[in-house]
């Protein structure tokens, strides 16, 4: 039988953090979070918890030997609350006990008293109160203020998109083991082993070389374990350091949903101006990002929103401003798309409104304004090997946009009980960490004397298939069978100072590093014996002749630069393009909808593993559809999460997703900017899901729902849909600048 | 150590002792070292912990069903065969389910796949025709966050197209699946091994301890209940299981599972649309545990089966110490989670009147997600239609009151009337006055009021197609 992760997964034999055998005497941790969103801690008494049979230690901020701080971008996030609390669920106390059940029961007996303070949950209110994480940033090109006067049509409104829970099936967790000489080894379900190592060292007050972080695989992450896997791992390390025993902490689903952040809700203002032919002339957007109570990655997420303010379109005059607004909710964090989806939803709202004002299908305006070769983005980069129009036209050719729209119109003319809607969603997404310095990766390749190969990189396998891609890259480079190559755990003692596996760039960068390392070994082998064809013999002979069969290599994505003062540069190695056509059917009586079909053409570059990429496209799409139509997380005015269990927060199931999901990859799509001509794939397809919102709104419009096109609020749940159908929305006249210049 | 009975776990015989308690998920992982069964949510919402439970029916036939390990008490195991993903693995390589999933490139992070494999094995064991549609339903309780399910669908198409034509309905299913390699060889020997197991451990008298049915809601709210020494499982009460047709009613045994209700021909003879209605209840792995009486005594204002049985004019058979009485189901609910049940009294059966056979039954459930979700509003109506006149009309509606609501005034108003748009509009006004929904996570009160109107419209459209038109209603 072939051996690999898929085989292990279906046999239930793949090992996740909670599956690691417990070291002798291992303790289990449970975390007590703040019950209120904002307040001053007046008393923490742990004696009653300590008195529980089986409880070994109860840790508070006082037990931290180093710095009580895990903030990566801003130092505003203590590991354990000290003095005050800023969101419901903020960790205050860690209970260590003989079992998780005992620890969870004992935490209820911690006497925690807090004087409540007013909580802010709304980003606009936060901005009005001046509670920004960092000063607002603006990306601009052209002269927006001058351009409005030249517009024949101007539309202006607001768009809001909601939070999204990651709902990785494996909840957050870690296991820390005390080692000899003050070392600690941490097994963490993290996308960022180096971040865990760095913050552990910081909190424990020890050098990084005393902390080893090892990651086999993650049971899903989607960004939720980029920054927010860290606290639980550090708590385990702190517990191991304090007690001298191994400590395991696995959040149960409720704690995970309550204590960890989600995709950022955005509330945005937009204004779009077009000429008489429907060409976009000017666009202005202001994003109020709900950042939660600590910076976490929010400023970086906001930056990516600014980079994607114009989506897949060319707009000559743009001003996009973004603010990370501090609120009293759990810090919002990375989620597949990382701010890009929120910005694109705003622009699509504007385009939809313009189309209604001009009485043309939105897809006509979309097609007319797609990016072209050499189109300049507001951040100064030019579109290189631009495939926006190719993807669109290929999708049109393969699936027929006009014909499908006609079919939808015919259905709607003939049916009362159901109405169909169609929307097209083009995507353009920049690849690279927008923080240029993070675009680096390392790999360590060993060829063993029997010819088998072991590879370590900084990439973390979380289901996205990065290990499979790296295996293929190494196998192809060395010229050996795939089965001879094994990818090892991600371990900070083998590959150090790694960037998180994020920004869709894991395979690009770590694969490139693995390729470089393999090439070094191959060059040594060829220099030793250029003629030997038998790999096993070549390796054995080279070893005997004292040729080094190991190599470390380093990759830094070339040609990247960005000037944060001017907000101009070339921040991305390249862009990924694609176009999706989405059709939905609305049940007019009940306000429920079904997604009928998604058909798309995706620019996958020259794919290293088509099955992996197809899975990424289909999976990301599902999350995008869920974000737009299904998944709802909300809070009450006191900052308490209402959708706080798996029973209340619904992610897509098999029945939610359409029977028809046609994914075709753009042919002849080589990409010289990434390893083996491939393209990153993790995030971009999520944004195809945005089309579902507009498809459903179009269906509602066909049912004579009164829709205000100047307002959009996602997700478009059955409740919001019925509100449209039942006339809960006013008809608002769209401003037409041609007649009423302002 | 106290003897707590013996079960089969995969191919092993396991004598249970005092520490073998709590829920099967934790027991497997912590006491048995079987880590293939995963905890994704701990409330039966994700299916990562799905296991199979096999038992011999009174006729000695072996049957299996997929259930959520996170809601299955270890106390249910004695005398039964529990199967985890490890117990489905061939000694080497992959079984055809696993092979199809791998060939389709389906597994990504892998965390949910053990549960998916087990659920699909449950499909192979229970589906009458091995259709792809059945396989999809078998996965209605399995959440995968990575794949978007498209690759899983491809795998399903693959193995269904290869096995469905080869199915011999007349043959023993387990034997055939062993022959196909879907189940490992040892399954061939399970029936005699189960028969040879010592009887399950004795339990205390039902009236003394907690009487637990499926526990699919109760154990989420109160998992510590299993710490009690005295738990009696209704699944052991053969006298409470099963559906029988009597002269003037169909009797649903209290411990009949919702899945059995869904499949039962006698119930379907009264309510032909029952399978599609009941499919909206929970998921396969929940329906396989949840029971008819459990849904009723749980007294959720939004219980799906409760609302259906209310509309059918059902009657409860209650008993205590051998004394029986009957009570209309509509009189069972006094207030939020308050029942007209005397201490120690249990539901023995639910009687659905045979007159339902002459009626049309309509069921509506509006939820955020179509499957495996709790309704914002659910409703059932049962009407006898004669020439457009509802000679009887019984409406029940959930999610709009502290109890699952028999909408008596609306029902009384509509009884004897011709169902036309004006009448239905008038009835909607009466219904609106009869309900009292609240704002909660399932929707705003205003939304639920609007839904209440619309589910009534939906019933009217089902009862008087052609006479009532949608355009006249909304």
Query: Using the 8-state DSSP alphabet, how is residue A263 labeled?
Result: B
Active site residues of A: 683
d(CA B284, CA B150): 20
A-chain CB neighbours of B139 within 8 Å are 654
CB contact under 8 A, B145 and A661: no
> Where does A189-279 show beta strands of DSSP type E?
211-215, 247-250, 266-274
- What's the confidence (pLDDT) of residue B58? 80
Strand pairing class (B315-320; B338-339) = unpaired
Distance from the B369 Cα atom to the nearest Cα atom in chain A, whole angstroms: 7
Nearest CB to B45 within list A632, A647, A656: A647
- What's the confidence (pLDDT) of residue B2? 60
Could you tell me the end-to-end alpha-carbon distance of chain A, in angstroms, rounded to an integer? 72
- Total residue count of chain A as it appears in this document: 742
- What's the confidence (pLDDT) of residue B4? 85
Q: How far is CA B265 from CA A19, A263, A621, B166, B251, in A?
A: 44, 47, 40, 26, 13
Take residue A578 and report the two structure tokens written for it: 């694609």
Measure CA B89 to chain center: 28
Distance from the B251 Cα atom to the nearest Cα atom in chain A, whole angstroms: 32
Q: Which of A642, A655, A720 to mutate to test the interface with B (most CBs of B within 10 A)?
A: A655
A-chain CB neighbours of B119 within 8 Å are none
- What's the confidence (pLDDT) of residue B201? 40
Tell me the average confidence (pLDDT) per consecutive run of 10 residues in chain A, 742 residues long: 86 98 95 98 98 98 98 96 97 98 97 98 98 98 98 98 98 98 98 98 98 98 98 98 98 98 98 98 98 98 98 98 98 98 98 97 98 98 98 98 98 98 98 97 98 98 98 98 98 98 97 98 98 97 98 98 98 98 98 98 98 98 98 96 97 97 97 98 98 98 92 97 77 39 34
Query: Using the 8-state DSSP alphabet, how is residue A242 labeled?
Result: H
- What's the confidence (pLDDT) of residue B8? 98
Concatenated DSSP letters of A363-422: HHHHHHTB--TTPBPTTSPBPSS--HHHHHHHHHHHH-HHHHHHHHHHHHHH-SSEEEEE
Q: Are B351 and B314 in contact (CB under 8 A)?
A: yes
B-chain CB neighbours of A620 within 8 Å are 148
Nearest CB to A589 within list B111, B151, B454: B454
Residues within 8 A of A (CB atoms), B 43-102 only: 43, 45-46, 48, 84-86, 89, 92-94, 97-98, 101-102
- What's the confidence (pLDDT) of residue B208? 60
Nearest CB to A657 within list B29, B85, B149: B149
pLDDT tens digit sequence for B9-64: 999 999 999 889 999 999 999 999 999 999 999 999 999 999 999 999 888 899 99
Other Cβ atoms less than 10 A from the Cβ of A550: the count is 14
B-chain CB neighbours of A588 within 8 Å are 470, 474
Residues within 8 A of A (CB atoms), B 114-143 only: 114, 117, 136, 139-140, 142-143
Could you tell me the end-to-end alpha-carbon distance of chain B, in angstroms, rounded to an integer? 67
SS3 B55: strand
CB contact under 8 A, B114 and A12: yes
SS3 B189: helix
| Cis preceding-peptide flag for B342 (omega within 30 of 0) | no
Distance from the B427 Cα atom to the nearest Cα atom in chain A, whole angstroms: 17
Closest residue in B to A657 (Cα) is B148
CB contact under 8 A, B46 and A646: yes
- What's the confidence (pLDDT) of residue B226? 84
Q: Is the dihedral of CA B179, B181, B182, B185 positive or negative?
A: positive
Put simply, whether B371 touches A (Cβ < 8 Å) is: yes
CATH hierarchy code of domain A440-556: 3.30.365.10
Q: Are A619 and A336 in contact (CB under 8 A)?
A: no
CB contact under 8 A, B36 and A654: no
- ipTM of this complex > 0.90? yes
Closest residue in A to B114 (Cα) is A12
Going by pLDDT thresholds of 50, 70 and 90, the confidence category of residue B225 is confident
CB contact under 8 A, A169 and B94: no
Closest residue in A to B41 (Cα) is A253
Q: How far is CA A476 from CA A479, A623, B423, in A?
A: 5, 33, 74
Q: Are A196 and A227 in contact (CB under 8 A)?
A: no
Other Cβ atoms less than 10 A from the Cβ of A12: the count is 25
- What's the confidence (pLDDT) of residue A292? 98
CATH hierarchy code of domain A5-9+25-118+166-259: 3.30.365.10
Distance from the A245 Cα atom to the nearest Cα atom in chain B, whole angstroms: 19
Distance from the B99 Cα atom to the nearest Cα atom in chain A, whole angstroms: 8
CB contact under 8 A, B38 and A464: no
d(CA B271, CA B61): 28
Going by pLDDT thresholds of 50, 70 and 90, the confidence category of residue B3 is confident
Nearest CB to B366 within list A12, A253, A590: A590
CB contact under 8 A, B110 and A217: yes
CATH hierarchy code of domain A266-433+568-725: 3.30.365.10
Among A2, A91, A93, smallest CA distance to A55 is for: A93
Put simply, whether B438 touches A (Cβ < 8 Å) is: no
- What's the confidence (pLDDT) of residue B406? 98
Question: Using H for helix, E for strand and C for coil, what is the string for A272-335?
Answer: EEECCCCCEEEEEEEEEEEEECCCCCHHHHHHHHHHCCCCCECCCEEEEEEEEEECCCCCCCCC
Q: Which of B23, B70, B150, B184 to mutate to test the interface with A (most CBs of A within 10 A)?
A: B150
pLDDT tens digit sequence for B165-212: 999 999 999 999 999 999 999 999 999 999 999 864 444 344 467 889
pLDDT exceeding 90 applies to what percent of chain B? 89
Nearest CB to A722 within list B39, B107, B447: B447
Q: Are B364 and B294 in contact (CB under 8 A)?
A: no
CB contact under 8 A, A462 and B98: no
Q: Is the dihedral of CA A697, A698, A704, A709 positive or negative?
A: positive
Take residue A414 and report the two structure tokens written for it: 């003939």
CB contact under 8 A, B148 and A619: yes
Q: Are A609 and A465 in contact (CB under 8 A)?
A: yes
Distance from the A465 Cα atom to the nearest Cα atom in chain B, whole angstroms: 7
CB contact under 8 A, B366 and A9: no
CB contact under 8 A, A719 and B364: no
B-chain CB neighbours of A637 within 8 Å are none
Nearest CB to A463 within list B94, B146, B370: B146
pLDDT tens digit sequence for B254-266: 999 999 999 999 9
Closest residue in A to B152 (Cα) is A654
**Location of each CATH 3.30.365.10 domain in chain A:** 5-9+25-118+166-259, 266-433+568-725, 440-556
Distance from the A599 Cα atom to the nearest Cα atom in chain B, whole angstroms: 13
Put simply, whether B36 touches A (Cβ < 8 Å) is: yes
Query: What mean pLDDT is reported for chain B?
Result: 94
CB contact under 8 A, A647 and B86: no
Nearest CB to A630 within list B111, B220, B369: B369
Distance from the B342 Cα atom to the nearest Cα atom in chain A, whole angstroms: 31
Nearest CB to A718 within list B36, B368, B374: B368
Residues within 8 A of A (CB atoms), B 206-225 only: 220
B-chain CB neighbours of A723 within 8 Å are 447
């Amino acid at each position: 039988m072939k051996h690999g992760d898929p085989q292990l997964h279906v046999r239930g034999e793949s090992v996740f953090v909670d599956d690691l055998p417990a070291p002798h005497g291992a303790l289990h941790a449970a975390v007590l979070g703040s019950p209120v969103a904002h307040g001053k801690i007046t008393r923490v008494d742990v004696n009653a918890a300590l008195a529980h049979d089986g409880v070994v230690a109860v840790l508070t901020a006082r037990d931290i030997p180093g710095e009580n701080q895990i903030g990566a971008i801003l130092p505003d996030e203590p590991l354990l609350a000290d003095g005050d609390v800023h969101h419901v669920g903020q960790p205050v106390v860690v209970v260590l006990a003989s079992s998780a059940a005992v620890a969870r029961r004992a935490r209820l007996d911690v006497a925690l008293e807090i004087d409540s303070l007013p909580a802010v949950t709304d980003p606009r209110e936060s901005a009005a109160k001046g509670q920004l994480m960092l000063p607002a940033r603006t990306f601009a090109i052209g002269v927006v203020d001058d351009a409005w006067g030249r517009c024949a049509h101007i539309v202006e409104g607001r768009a809001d998109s909601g939070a999204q829970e990651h709902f990785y099936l494996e909840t957050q967790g870690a296991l820390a083991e005390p080692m000899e000489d003050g070392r600690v080894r941490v097994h963490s379900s993290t996308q960022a082993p180096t971040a865990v190592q760095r913050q552990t060292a910081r909190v424990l007050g020890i050098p990084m070389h005393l902390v080893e972080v090892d990651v086999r695989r993650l049971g899903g992450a989607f960004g939720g374990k980029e920054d927010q896997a860290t606290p639980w791992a550090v708590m385990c390390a702190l517990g191991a350091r304090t007690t001298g025993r191994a400590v395991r902490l696995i959040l149960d689903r409720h704690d995970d949903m309550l204590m960890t952040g989600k995709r950022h809700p955005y509330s945005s203002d937009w204004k779009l101006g077009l000429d008489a032919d429907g060409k976009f002339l000017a666009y202005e957007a202001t994003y109020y990002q709900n950042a939660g109570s600590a910076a976490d990655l929010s400023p970086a997420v906001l930056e990516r929103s600014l980079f994607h303010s114009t989506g897949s379109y060319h707009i000559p005059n743009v001003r996009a401003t973004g603010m990370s607004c501090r609120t009293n909710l759990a810090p919002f964090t990375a989620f597949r798309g990382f701010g890009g989806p929120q910005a694109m939803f705003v622009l699509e709202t504007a385009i939809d409104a313009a189309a209604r004002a001009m009485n043309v299908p939105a897809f006509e305006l979309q097609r007319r304004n797609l990016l072209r070769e050499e189109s300049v983005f507001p951040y100064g980069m030019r579109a290189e090997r631009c495939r926006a129009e190719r993807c669109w036209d290929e999708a049109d050719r393969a699936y027929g946009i006009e014909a499908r729209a006609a079919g939808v119109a015919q259905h709607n003319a003939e049916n009362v009980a159901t109405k169909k809607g169609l929307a097209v969603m083009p995507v353009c997404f920049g690849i690279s960490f927008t923080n240029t310095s993070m675009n680096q990766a390392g790999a360590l390749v060993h060829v063993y004397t029997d010819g088998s190969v072991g590879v370590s990189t900084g990439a973390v396998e979380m289901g996205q298939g990065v290990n499979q891609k790296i295996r293929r890259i190494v196998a192809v480079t060395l010229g050996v069978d795939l089965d001879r190559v094994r990818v090892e755990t991600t371990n900070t003692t083998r590959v150090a100072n790694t960037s998180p596996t994020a920004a869709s760039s894991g395979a690009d960068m770590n694969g490139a590093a693995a390729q470089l390392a393999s090439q070094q070994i191959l060059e040594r082998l060829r220099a030793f014996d250029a003629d030997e064809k038998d790999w096993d013999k070549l390796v054995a002979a080279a070893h005997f002749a004292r040729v080094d069969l190991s190599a470390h290599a380093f990759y830094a994505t070339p040609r990247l630069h960005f000037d944060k003062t001017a907000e101009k540069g070339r921040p991305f190695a390249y862009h990924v393009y694609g176009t999706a056509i989405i059709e939905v059917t609305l049940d007019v009586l009940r306000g429920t909808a079904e997604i009928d079909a998604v058909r798309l053409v995706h620019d996958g570059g020259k794919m290293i593993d088509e099955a992996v990429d197809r899975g990424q496209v289909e999976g990301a799409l599902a999350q995008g559809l869920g974000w737009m139509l299904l998944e709802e997380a909300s809070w009450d005015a006191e900052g308490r999460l209402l959708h706080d269990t798996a029973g209340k927060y619904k992610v897509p199931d098999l029945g939610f997703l359409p029977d028809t999901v046609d994914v075709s990859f753009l042919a002849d799509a080589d990409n010289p900017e990434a390893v083996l001509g491939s393209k990153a794939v993790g995030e971009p397809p999520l944004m195809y899901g945005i089309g579902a919102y507009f498809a459903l709104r179009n269906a509602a419009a066909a049912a004579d729902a009164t829709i205000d096109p100047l307002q959009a609020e996602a997700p478009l749940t059955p409740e919001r849909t019925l509100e449209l159908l039942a006339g809960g929305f006013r008809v608002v006249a769209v401003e037409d600048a041609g007649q009423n210049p302002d | 150590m106290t003897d707590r009975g013996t079960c089969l776990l995969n191919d092993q015989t396991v004598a249970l002792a005092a520490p073998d308690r709590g829920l099967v998920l934790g027991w497997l992982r912590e006491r048995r070292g079987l880590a293939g069964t995963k905890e994704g949510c701990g409330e039966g919402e994700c299916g990562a912990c799905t296991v199979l439970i096999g038992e011999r029916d009174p006729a000695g036939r072996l049957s299996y069903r997929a259930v959520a390990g996170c809601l299955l008490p270890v106390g249910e195991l004695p005398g039964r065969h529990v199967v985890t993903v490890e117990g489905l693995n061939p000694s080497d390589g992959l079984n055809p389910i696993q092979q199809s999933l791998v060939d389709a490139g389906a597994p990504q992070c892998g965390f949910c796949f053990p549960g998916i494999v087990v659920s699909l094995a449950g499909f192979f064991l229970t589906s009458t025709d091995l259709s792809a549609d059945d396989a999809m339903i078998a996965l209605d309780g399995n959440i995968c966050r990575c794949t978007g399910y498209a690759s899983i669908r491809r795998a399903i198409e693959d193995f269904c197209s290869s096995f469905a034509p080869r199915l011999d309905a007349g043959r023993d299913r387990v034997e055939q699946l062993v022959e196909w390699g879907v189940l490992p060889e040892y399954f061939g020997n399970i029936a005699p091994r189960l028969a040879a197991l010592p009887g399950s451990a004795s339990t205390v008298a039902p009236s003394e301890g907690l009487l637990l049915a499926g526990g699919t809601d109760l154990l989420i709210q109160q998992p510590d209940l299993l710490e009690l020494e005295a738990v009696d499982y209704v699944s052991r009460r053969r006298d409470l299981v099963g559906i029988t047709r009597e002269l003037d009613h169909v009797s649903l045994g209290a411990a009949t599972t919702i899945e059995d209700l869904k499949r039962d021909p006698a119930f379907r003879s009264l309510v032909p649309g029952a399978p599609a209605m009941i499919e909206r209840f929970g998921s396969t792995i929940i329906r396989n545990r949840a029971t008819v009486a459990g849904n009723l005594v749980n007294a959720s204002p939004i219980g799906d089966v409760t609302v259906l049985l209310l509309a059918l004019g059902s009657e409860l058979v209650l008993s205590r110490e051998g004394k029986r009485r009957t009570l209309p189901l509509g009189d069972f609910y006094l207030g939020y989670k308050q029942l007209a049940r005397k201490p120690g009294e249990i539901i023995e059966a639910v009687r659905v009147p045979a007159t339902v056979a002459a009626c049309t039954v309509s069921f509506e459930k509006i939820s955020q997600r179509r499957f495996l979700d709790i309704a914002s509003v659910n409703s059932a109506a049962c009407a006898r239609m004669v020439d457009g006149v509802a000679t009887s009309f019984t409406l029940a509606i959930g999610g709009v009151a502290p109890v699952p609501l028999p909408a008596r005034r609306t029902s009384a108003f509509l009884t004897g009337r011709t169902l036309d748009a004006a009448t239905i509009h008038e009835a909607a006004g009466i219904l609106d006055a009869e309900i009292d929904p609240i704002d909660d996570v399932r929707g705003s009160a205003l939304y639920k009021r609007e839904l209440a109107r619309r589910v009534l419209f939906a019933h009217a459209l089902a009862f008087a197609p052609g006479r009532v038109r949608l355009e006249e209603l909304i």
